[in-house]
Chains A and B, each alone.
Chain A
């Protein structure tokens, strides 16, 4: 039986790289057929002849109508044919959540016009009226849509103060000077002109195959920083804030994080094929780039990576959040574990993340306690940029499986299949509890494909003791929303410490989702078997603190900042 023997000996290595250890039942159920039927996105042609066509669009989960559940915004792209004809791109779309995680198109008051070619999104209350506004990045000028008191959106791009027309990817809202006004960082990719970039057909190759050109060989664009006035207008503060590195990177991902714990918000930027940047807020309105010094610019070998997305969370409950970037195929995802007061160490191998991610090209990602056992898990969405990845000998594939990395509580991750979905060419993702059942769900974009809703199927309920009893909850959680007094109404940049029997975690309130996406400005913490929270401590953006003691679990608490 030589054939059988050899098949056993030789794994099918040319097939799609799959996670190695699959759970019996995936934790997530792909549910868009019910929750978001027929919603797709477009980013160029399927042939992917130009780099403009490969990054996909954006996603935001944000409560736009203040009804307590996260609504969904999908940023769509365009095609080169539309560009050539002078037609606008496909418009961003808003979908309202019915509270059970089923989304339906919002009415005409929420309609946004098609821009040039949509990319990413930031969500936050930039005018301080208590309603979430939207910033849309594009291959083209950045756009602003102001929320009209939960009744609709109105474009305010012209008066917003945004300058230039670059290729914006991710954007992040942060309060740089802790003045109560939200500021904006826009991460830019590269200078792209379809008339100047080499045509497909052999000028650029990957593993001997002709592929689209870039980013190498093209010119990276500097990122931009805007100082907010708290009224929906901004001024360009890029130069004044020294937000200009020695060399520009091909910017793709952005994450707000107070990495040094000094109370002001810093910014981490994932760059494609160039070193990642860590912008340290000096507290005086300026930044210093410290990526190399802090050990988060390269991988552990000193190799520049093609970084895409960013996840952020305090994995070891040491009070400092850890950073993770997703990378190109052939480069493992990099986990930068916070060490000491300001530094990081790359720990992908030690935590089990390196091997399963090596052949993946990864994008959207996030740390969240997906199984409510009290530690942070990780999800990663994958998909190659080259359709040619399916040709012989690439050791990877175009469509790739989603991955769930489950934390064992001791800092080691085991890979699982995220859902029973087929492999996809995935891009941006966002996460939050869309159906109000206490666990974290995910929404993800398939390039030139579906907007996917991945519903968490965690069985958090304990079976009833007998037929007459009600089921009880076995796994608990808590959620926290903050309402600040100033114009930064969601308290973006606040830090929240949650203590429970068996654990403690510091979390930062943010809406930056890592890659062209925005997440709800909420804290979600899994508590395992603890049915009560011992304490919640809030460190507000202005430095004041408040706390709650002995709080019941399994609900979202809204904590308002008290007047001094």
Chain B
């Protein structure tokens, strides 16, 4: 698998209780204050727990549960806190709240589900599968929302079980491109290339710009010796996501076999450069899984994503950096820069004001801000920043 399959934080739990929870901005992760140390300990304890040891509810207890059900008041606190932690990328802390909830209300379906998703995010696929299986058992009518369980089995190399589960998800939710994609990849792993090809084409019918589907299709066709048919899909994948190493890797081989050696060499160079950065990105993402409050790691990750032009990832990561807050002008300037790059001038300008406060006597920061204000056409602010720089402020 080339990357973690994106999983949206399912609305099963939060639909029932969105009141009072910030919708867009991630909350800052836990900081090492006295009360929060306790949360870290709870998070560590949650990570050490075996999800198989969770108590069972009486059979049928949740059989009539629906995502539209009102959240019981006594559970609201943990739900809100759990969502805040999850949104901040602090999956261990989120698990702690969800376990607390499940200890009080056994097999409460949305908590089972969300805890499974937390494990999935933590790349603990076996543990995730245990909880998601229990969720499906408790509320089988919600199976259409459990493509993550298919992803777990796929990530564990259990492709037959993944295939079976994706099939069930699709029976309930036939238009899920991610479930079709999962089914396609499971079929491919099971050696059923033809079926995989059909399914990937179906993904492309649902979402013609699905870069990953193009890349897999190219790969299967190439592996089957259909080099000419693989080429347009590899090129489309490359065009859609030029920062991904895989299309370049494939293209290098396809071009070489098509006697286009110069193109092959160029593709290999791009493969090597994108591959290096992709590895660094993976490394930073891995660090954040277990230490989501680390400003430097977010900075590094955002800088890497920016360097390859991946706006979507920068857009996802930036709010985390913003939420952590900063007393450093360089971080504030980076945020300004990123908002500007994303075309969000309003946020860029707002953050620039914060950066001014933090800039203090740092001439370089003021010069940078003066340039920024000039770029966005704010002459007064540019003049003010330049004056501060000239004054050696």
Q: Does B108 contact A (CB under 8 A)?
A: no
Binds B, one of A72-80, A224-232, A347-355: A347-355
Nearest CB in chain B: distance from A345 CB, A: 5
A352: which B residues are within 8 A, CB to CB? 190-191
Binds B, one of A8-16, A52-60, A449-457: A8-16
B328: which A residues are within 8 A, CB to CB? none
Residue pair A393, B223 in contact (C-beta under 8 Å):
no
Residue pair B47, A2 in contact (C-beta under 8 Å):
no
Residue pair A301, B2 in contact (C-beta under 8 Å):
yes
With contact pairs A14-B52, A300-B223 given, residues A393 and B122 touching in the complex (Cβ less than 8 Å): yes
Interface centre among B122, B160, B191, B223 (most CB of A within 10 A): B191
Q: Which residues of chain A from 276 to 293 have a CB within 8 Å of any chain B CB?
A: 292-293
Q: Which residue of B lies closest to A393 (CB)?
A: B124
Residue pair B159, A355 in contact (C-beta under 8 Å):
yes
With contact pairs A293-B256, A301-B249, A339-B225 given, residues A14 and B127 touching in the complex (Cβ less than 8 Å): yes
Q: Does B15 contact A (CB under 8 A)?
A: no
Nearest CB in chain B: distance from A280 CB, A: 15
Complex partner residue of A2 from B59, B157, B189, CB under 8 angstroms: B59
Q: Does B188 contact A (CB under 8 A)?
A: yes
Q: Which residue of B lies closest to A1 (CB)?
A: B59
Residue pair B268, A358 in contact (C-beta under 8 Å):
no
Complex partner residue of B157 from A293, A351, A357, CB under 8 angstroms: A357
Instruction: Give the interface size bracket for A toward B.
Output: 35 or more
With contact pairs A13-B130, A303-B2, A393-B119 given, residues A2 and B56 touching in the complex (Cβ less than 8 Å): yes
Q: Does A356 contact B (CB under 8 A)?
A: yes
Q: Does A437 contact B (CB under 8 A)?
A: no
| Binary per-residue interface labels of chain B (141-155) against chain A in the complex, 1 for a CB within 8 Å, 0 otherwise | 000000000000001
Residue pair B248, A302 in contact (C-beta under 8 Å):
yes
Residue pair B130, A10 in contact (C-beta under 8 Å):
yes
Majority SS at the chain A contact face: loop
Q: Which residue of A lies closest to B279 (CB)?
A: A304
| Binary per-residue interface labels of chain A (105-135) against chain B in the complex, 1 for a CB within 8 Å, 0 otherwise | 0000000000000000000000000000000
Residue pair A292, B268 in contact (C-beta under 8 Å):
yes
Q: Does A143 contact B (CB under 8 A)?
A: no
Residue pair A395, B125 in contact (C-beta under 8 Å):
yes
Q: Which residue of B lies closest to A394 (CB)?
A: B124
With contact pairs A10-B129, A208-B290, A302-B246 given, residues A359 and B156 touching in the complex (Cβ less than 8 Å): yes
| Binary per-residue interface labels of chain A (354-369) against chain B in the complex, 1 for a CB within 8 Å, 0 otherwise | 1111110000000000
Q: Which residue of B lies closest to A355 (CB)?
A: B157
With contact pairs A295-B253, A355-B157 given, residues A10 and B133 touching in the complex (Cβ less than 8 Å): yes
B279: which A residues are within 8 A, CB to CB? 304
Q: Which residues of chain A from 6 to 45 have a CB within 8 Å of any chain B CB?
A: 6, 9-14, 20
Complex partner residue of B56 from A6, A13, A293, A302, CB under 8 angstroms: A6
Q: Does A196 contact B (CB under 8 A)?
A: no
A394: which B residues are within 8 A, CB to CB? 124
Complex partner residue of A302 from B126, B130, B156, B275, CB under 8 angstroms: B275
A357: which B residues are within 8 A, CB to CB? 157
Interface centre among A298, A304, A332, A339 (most CB of B within 10 A): A298
Assembly CA distance A424 to B216 (angstroms): 36
Residue pair A332, B127 in contact (C-beta under 8 Å):
no
Nearest CB in chain A: distance from B250 CB, A: 7
Q: Does B308 contact A (CB under 8 A)?
A: no
Q: Which residue of A lies closest to B119 (CB)?
A: A393
Assembly CA distance A1 to B59 (angstroms): 8
Q: Which residues of chain A from 382 to 429 have a CB within 8 Å of any chain B CB?
A: 392-395, 412
Assembly CA distance A359 to B193 (angstroms): 23
A351: which B residues are within 8 A, CB to CB? 191
Residue pair B134, A358 in contact (C-beta under 8 Å):
no
A298: which B residues are within 8 A, CB to CB? 249
A392: which B residues are within 8 A, CB to CB? 47-50, 124, 127
Interface centre among B159, B257, B268 (most CB of A within 10 A): B159
Q: Which residues of chain B from 127 to 142 have a CB within 8 Å of any chain A CB?
A: 127, 129-130, 133-134, 136-137
Nearest CB in chain A: distance from B388 CB, A: 42
Q: Does A82 contact B (CB under 8 A)?
A: no
B125: which A residues are within 8 A, CB to CB? 13, 395
Nearest CB in chain B: distance from A271 CB, A: 15
Residue pair B136, A9 in contact (C-beta under 8 Å):
yes
Residue pair A358, B156 in contact (C-beta under 8 Å):
yes
With contact pairs A208-B289, A355-B189, A359-B157 given, residues A302 and B137 touching in the complex (Cβ less than 8 Å): no
Nearest CB in chain A: distance from B135 CB, A: 10
Residue pair A6, B133 in contact (C-beta under 8 Å):
yes
Nearest CB in chain B: distance from A410 CB, A: 11
Q: Does A346 contact B (CB under 8 A)?
A: yes
Nearest CB in chain B: distance from A327 CB, A: 12
Q: Which residue of A lies closest to B192 (CB)?
A: A350
Q: Does B219 contact A (CB under 8 A)?
A: yes
Residue pair A332, B248 in contact (C-beta under 8 Å):
no
A345: which B residues are within 8 A, CB to CB? 222-223, 225
With contact pairs A339-B225, A357-B157, A358-B156 given, residues A302 and B127 touching in the complex (Cβ less than 8 Å): no
A393: which B residues are within 8 A, CB to CB? 47, 119, 122, 124, 126-127
CB<8 Å pairs between A and B, sample of 17 = A9-B137, A10-B129, A10-B134, A293-B256, A302-B271, A339-B225, A349-B188, A349-B189, A350-B223, A352-B190, A357-B157, A392-B48, A393-B47, A393-B124, A393-B127, A395-B124, A395-B126
Q: A9-B134, A345-B223, A359-B157 are in contact. List 18 more A-B contacts (CB 8 A).
A: A1-B59, A9-B137, A10-B130, A14-B52, A14-B126, A205-B290, A208-B47, A302-B271, A303-B2, A304-B279, A343-B257, A349-B191, A350-B191, A352-B190, A354-B189, A355-B190, A392-B47, A392-B124
Task: Give the interface of B toward A (CB within 8 A).
Answer: 1-2, 47-50, 52, 56-59, 119, 122-127, 129-130, 133-134, 136-137, 155-161, 188-191, 193, 219, 222-223, 225, 245-246, 248-250, 252-253, 256-257, 268, 271, 275, 279, 289-290
